[in-house]
Every structure is written in C-alpha cells, then in structure tokens.
Structure 1
C-alpha cells in the first residue's frame, strides 16, 4: 500500500515562515506520508478575472490537490485577530472551482503566531470559514503555537516537548480519521 497523500496549506507565503515549519513537522509526525505543500501565492479573487479568463491554473491545481489528498493540514498565522488574507483568498478561489474538493475531507487545523495566544482567534475563525465546504475538521487536540519564532531549532524541528506531543497526537488522530 502506498503512503497517504497529506496536503499542507500555510497561511503565510514567506519561505521560512513558522507556519510552514509547523506543517513540515506535522508531516514528519504523520509519517509515513507523501507530503505536498500547496502554493497559495494566487491572484486576488476577482469575479471579472474569473468571468474573462476562467479559473487560474494555479487555483485549479490547488483544488485538484485538495481533491486528491487523503488528508489536509492547514496552519495559519494570526493577522489582526484573524487568519491571513492569503488563506482566505485561497479558500474563496477554491470555492469557485467545479466539484467539491473539501467535501468530507479529513482536515487538521493549527496555528503558529508571534503572540502569546498562538493564533487561537485565527484558528477559530478559520474553522468557521470552512463550514460551507463540509470537511471533517478534527476538533482537537488544538495546537496554538505561541511565540512561534522561538519554538524551532536550526533544522526546523520543534524544541518544546509539549508542542511536539500535542502535534503528534493531532497527527495520529488525523491518520485514524483518514483511515490509515
């Protein structure tokens, strides 16, 4: 049997973002897995663009990746008490594609943020954003990585045993939800 496909969506576009690091750690703990990190560097949603040119190829690729994944992990920073615009834009675009790629998809949500709440508000709002798509979002354990820039070593591994244990438990629960 081949490894499950785990798709990661980071709400931050920065190459070395802590949310990207958190996704990679999640994939390591989900192991064995074929991990794909989605590219959310998409044009801003614009109905005129959609009407004139159709769905951009990068958006269709993202929608197809969601549909093909056995499970999805989403990690978001918290910007102004909510998820990033990058993530919301991606969700808006995917909602315009054919089919229902999120339907019944096992999804784990997490957050990494500079603040002491670790993106808790962003994660709560993200969960509400996902309701129309009807995925199977895990309800816990919740992972809110606070002061995230201080929580990874030079190799990108989590340094806190507490956070690693929580992330491991979340990934094991996602494996079960995805049927692995």
Structure 2
C-alpha cells in the first residue's frame, strides 16, 4: 500500500507532522511518503489570480500525489479554530482542479494541539465536509495536550489509551 501522510501545517516545528509521521509508521507494510506542504506554496487563492495564472503546477503536483496514493493520513493544526492558512490555500487551489480533492481515497484525519482541546474544532470541520471533497473517511482522532501525550525524544505517543485509539484508526486504512 502506498500511504501518503502530511500535516496541514507549514510550521518547521509542527507537532502535527510529528503525529502524522508516527501514525503512518503504525500502518504495517505500507510504503510511506510524508509530504511537507511548504513544497506546495502558492500565491493566495482568488478568482482574479486563477484567471491570471491558471492552475499552478504545485496544485497539480499535490493533486497527483493524492491520486497516486492508496490511502492518506492528514493531521490538522488549528489556527483560531480553523485550518491553517497554508493548508487552506493549498486546498483551495487544488479544489479548482477537481472538487473531489481526495479522489475517493480512504483517509484518516488526525489533529493535535498543545492544549486540552486537541484541535477538535478544525477536526470536526474537516470531518463534516469530507464527503464533499472525495474523502472516504475511515476514522478521525484528536490528541489533546500533545506534549503530555507524545514523547518528542522517541517520537511516539506515550499514552496507552491514545496509542490503542490511533492504532485502531489507522488500521481501518488496510481494510
């Protein structure tokens, strides 16, 4: 299985990237590719820019990466209760190629934050809108209080209940 994983964050210190990388490592036998959305940076989307630029190569490349994957794991960072501007811009451009950005692929959505909310607001928004964008949502999980539940030295969750919940979520990708 070709598994595509990425954090919906542009931070070089992204805790969501640490989480999604760890989650992808739990999918046995998967050939994992972890993307950095910074590699797909584009001008801010607007209909005027779209008329001027057409479809940027970065959006086409991102759409192709999704198309080549058998399954996907995304971990959402939350900025003021919503998507990061970097992810939203990439998503907006890509959705102009095809509204079904995720192309019917099986997907697990994750989210985390340093606080007890675990980015549940953005995870809820993403999960609710998933069917409109070609997501075959197999599971979702919020990891609260990231630094209390994730060992940055070993790059692993250290809370057994959350480990079990994560393993259960990502195991749905293999079915």
Q: TM-score, normalised by structure 2?
A: 0.88
**1:5 matched to which residue of 2?**
2
Deviations 1:49-83 (A, max 9, x none): 32222222111110000111101111012221223
Aligned CA-pair RMSD: 1.8
Aligned equivalents of 1:65, 1:102: Cα separation in 2? 10
Match of 2:143 in 1: 145
Matched, 1:18 2:15: yes
Task: After superposition, give the CA deviation of every residue in 1:18-67 in whole Å (9 maximum; x if it has no partner).
Answer: 10011111111012212122232322213233222222211111000011
Cα separation, partners in 2 of 1:55 and 1:39, compared to 1, 3 Å:
farther
TM-score using structure 1 length: 0.86
1:99 to 1:12, Cα distance in 2 relative to 1, 3 A? closer
Moved more, 80-89 or 65-74: 80-89
Task: Confirm or deny: 8 A CA contact 1:111 1:123 kept in the other structure.
Answer: yes
Partners of 2:152 and 2:36 lie apart in 1 by 24
Superposition misfits of 4+ residues, deviation over 3 angstroms: 98-101
Is the 2:130–2:136 contact (alpha carbons within 8 Å) kept by the matching residues of 1?
A: no
1:174 Cα deviation from its structure 2 partner: 1.5
Aligned residues: 171
C-alpha distance 108-114 of structure 1, shift in aligned 2 (>3 A): same
Higher strand fraction: Structure 1 or Structure 2? Answer: 2
Residue 124 (structure 1) shift: 0.4
Unaligned runs of 5+ in 2: none
